Amino acid sequence: MSQPKDGGSAFPSLDKIGHLAKGMTLRDYFAAKAMQGMLINEFDSQSVISLSEASYQIADAMLKEREK
């Protein structure tokens, strides 16, 4: 079975009745971490849309690298 393009669940766990609680995707987690790094390093004053697009481009590159 192949991994989903979003990397699957970043922090899967079981809820109180034993059902799988998937939580955020690995792609979302990577994008959030990338965005954090750009913000702390004073990402130049581009729009929020540009920042989020760049974050997901980095996340997609990280997921692609994991496939190797």
Residue 2 DSSP one-character state = P
> Which pLDDT does position 3 carry in this prediction?
57
For the CA atoms of 57, 60, 61, 63, the dihedral, rounded to the nearest 10 degrees, stands at 160
pLDDT per residue as tens digits for the range 46-60: 677 788 899 999 999
pLDDT band at 61 (very low <50, low <70, confident <90, very high): very high
CA distance 64 to 42: 26
> Which pLDDT does position 23 carry in this prediction?
82
CA distance 40 to 58: 16
Polymer length of the chain? 68
Q: What residues does each domain of the chain span?
A: 13-66
Checking if the pLDDT of 10 tops 60, the result is: yes
pTM, 2 dp: 0.74
What tokens were used for 4? 């989903």
